[in-house]
Amino acid sequence: MLTEKLYQLKTMFSQMEKALIAYSGGIDSTLVAKIAHDVLGDRALAITAVSPSLLPEELEDAKIQAATIGIAHELVKTHEMENPNYTSNPVNRCYFCKSELHDTLKPLAIKRGYPYVIDGVNSDDLGDYRPGIQAAKEREARSPLAEAGITKLEVRQLSQTLGLPWWDKPAQPCLSSRFPYGEEITVAKLQRVGRAEIYLRHLGYANLRVRSQGDTARIELPSQTIKDFIATTDLSQLVSKFQELGFMYVTLDLEGFRSGKLNQEILAQPIANTLN
């Protein structure tokens, strides 16, 4: 089955003259970039959007991965933070983020002679609350992973099969996803939560989130690691570090890490899905 899906992906790209990849450095878009480069060579171009919602460390990872793959890689700035429809953090915030992204990439693709803009949306994303998918569709972006029915697990399996060393890289969505809907997003808040997550990664916890609610940081870790975290972490030092970053309170979510947790209230209300 995986072999067939990989063949399907390669076939899609073989039918494209050139392709511009919306490349975040995450595992999905990196797999797409790898296959695009394998099939199209120098007719594939990876573009990474740089904004305050992308940590410098994530940008460096994206550069390293692109260089390892061999695909041409460029950076563009996006300005979603200048749009109050985005910074006010409504439930369809992601729509305005992806609108900014594709309103930047599509004219660039046309100017440079790339008939296709490709993203890394996989089939699992279609079942989540992702308003940004609609924004991409409206701008005629294509999602080969979703078109081939490739799940997140299969993205990892294919990446491992292709020898990509980051096949097990934790998902790292936009930092704006750390804030409850309705709480204003600022550059300072993004930097604060980003530095907090980097601090925890340096302690050895890769799969995590720091949810920011007002002056409170809520740490989410995989449930099986919570006991070890409490037993081995210097909690007073951690609290001091988070307070230096600007948080007043630091809490630990006893339910444990769950991707997309802040979407659970949205998904529980069928009417809200009309936004997607």
Torsions phi, psi of 127, nearest 5?
Answer: -95, 0
pLDDT (0 to 100) of residue 1: 85
pLDDT digits (tens, 9 = 90+) for 73-109: 999 999 999 999 999 999 999 999 999 999 999 999 9
Residues 6+ apart with CB under 8 A from 190: 52, 53, 175, 176
pLDDT at residue 7 greater than cutoff 70: yes
Q: What is the pLDDT of residue 151?
A: 97
10 Å CB burial of residue 232 (0-12, 13-18, 19+) is exposed
Q: Dump pLDDT digits (tens) for 227-267.
A: 999 999 999 999 999 999 999 999 999 999 987 666 665 55
- Could you read off the pLDDT of 158-209 as tens digits, one per residue? 999 999 999 999 888 889 999 999 999 999 999 999 999 999 999 999 899 9
Matching CATH number, 2-161, of 3.40.50.620, 3.90.1150.10, 3.30.300.130, 3.30.200.20: 3.40.50.620
State percent of the chain over pLDDT 70.
Answer: 94
What is the residue extent of each domain of the chain? 2-161, 175-258
- pLDDT tens, 25-67? 999 999 999 999 999 999 999 999 999 999 888 999 999 999 9
Give how far Cα 263 sits from Cα of 130, 259, 268, Å.
9, 9, 9
Compute how many other C-beta atoms are within 10 angstroms of the C-beta atom of residue 239.
Answer: 14
Cα(10)–Cα(4) distance, rounded to whole angstroms?
10
Question: Which tokens is 257 given?
Answer: 């890490």
pTM higher than 0.85 for the full model?
A: yes
Tokens representing residue 183 in the block? 């709480």
Strand partners, 44: 19
CATH number at 175-258: 3.30.300
From residue 193, give the alpha-carbon distance in Å to each of 3, 93, 189: 40, 18, 6
- What CA–CA distances, in Å, run from 271 to 24, 91, 267? 30, 12, 9
Cα R_g (the chain), whole angstroms? 19
> pLDDT tens-digit profile of 198-225?
999 999 998 999 999 999 999 999 999 9
